Amino acid sequence: MIDFRILHLQEVDSTNNYLKKYSKDNTVSEGTVILADYQKNGKGRGKNSWYSGADLNVTFSLLLRPELKTGRYFILTEFVSLAITDALKHFGIESLIKWPNDVYVGDFKIAGILIENTIVGSLITRCIVGIGINVNEEIFPAELSNPISMRSLKNKIFQKDEVIHVLLDKIRNRYNQLKKETIQTLHTEYNKNLFRRGKVSGYKHKDRIFKAELIEIDTTGVLKLKTTNGKSKQYLFGEVEMII
């Protein structure tokens, strides 16, 4: 069972960067959480940044030392995404996972995950799980296309400490599941909770736009589509973009 130890910082560049440096020392244990009230340079996936107004939202990074075979890396994405949907459900918010690991309510993004792994030989020895949840933010920068927060959905201010407590609890449960049960259980649930699964959406691949049905995500994180003219297609993350 994972024990959490929270280091609470007022301000940091990015909790992922901080934890990456801090956990180079192998004695820093699994379950260490770097929590920040404000990130000056919050990172999103790829070249994106992560916007979060000071003191308003939940931004933290969690250290795992999973000793997981590299081929199973996608299970880390699956368990964390599910834990966030579990936590939101606790607060009466139904959400879905947009491949690979955005959390959506309707067509709006409420949370994002940035996972950074360290691999030694064939094992993932260190995993830094960065989570940003829009909790009490009301006004987002105009360049963000579709953000939403718990506050705007429920019309009330949430206690950040409570959200963190519930989320860590859900992470603990899902991580236990990862450690104890077969990979298939989490994988099946991930697919069940997938945004627009079984629906036809527009996708952009290089400069081409096409329509396809989202069939499933496989255990390695590959997106499987069926185009409207019946062709099966497979994409790695970054190769194709769903049009919202």
Q: Is 115 in the site for ligand BTN (CB under 6 A)?
A: no
Residues 40-69, one symbol each (x = binds ligand BTN by CB under 6 A, - = not), give: --xxxx--x-x--------xxx--------
- For CA atoms 33, 44, 41, 94, the dihedral sign is negative
Q: How far is the CB of 185 from ligand BTN (least distance, A)?
A: 25
Stretch that binds ligand BTN, among 1-9, 65-73, 125-133, 232-240 (CB under 6 A): 125-133
The neighbour count for residue 230, using CB atoms within 10 Å, is: 6
Q: Compute the Cα dihedral for 79, 81, 83, 89 and give only its sign.
A: negative
- Residue 83 structure tokens: 């834990």
One residue of 78, 112, 126, 148 binding ligand BTN per CB under 6 A = 112
Q: Tell me whether residue 66 or residue 132 sits nearer to ligand BTN (CB atom).
A: 132
Q: Of 44 and 53, which has the nearer Cβ to ligand BTN? A: 44
d(CA 112, CA 116): 13
Work out the number of other CB atoms within 10 angstroms of the CB of residue 178. Answer: 22
Please state the φ and ψ torsions of residue 199, each to the nearest 5 degrees. -110, 155
Residue 85 interacts with ligand BTN (CB under 6 A)? no
Among positions 33, 83, 114, 164, the unique one binding ligand BTN when judged by CB under 6 A: 114
Between 78 and 102, name the residue whose CB sits nearer to ligand BTN: 102
Pick from 97, 113, 194, 240: which binds ligand BTN (CB under 6 A)? Answer: 113
**Helix orientation angle between 160-180 and 74-90, rounded to the nearest 10 degrees:** 140
The number of residues that bind ligand BTN (CB under 6 A) is 20
124 CB-contact burial (10 Å; exposed 0-12 / middle 13-18 / buried 19+):
buried
Please state the closest distance from residue 18 (CB atom) to ligand BTN, in A.
8
Residue 77 interacts with ligand BTN (CB under 6 A): yes or no: no
CB nearer to ligand BTN: pick between 114 and 212: 114
Residue 100 engages ligand BTN in binding (rule: CB under 6 A): no
Rg (CA), the chain: 18
Within 13 Å and on the Cβ side, how many CA atoms surround 184? 1
The footprint of ligand BTN (CB under 6 A) covers 14-16, 39, 42-45, 48, 50, 59-61, 102, 112-114, 130-132
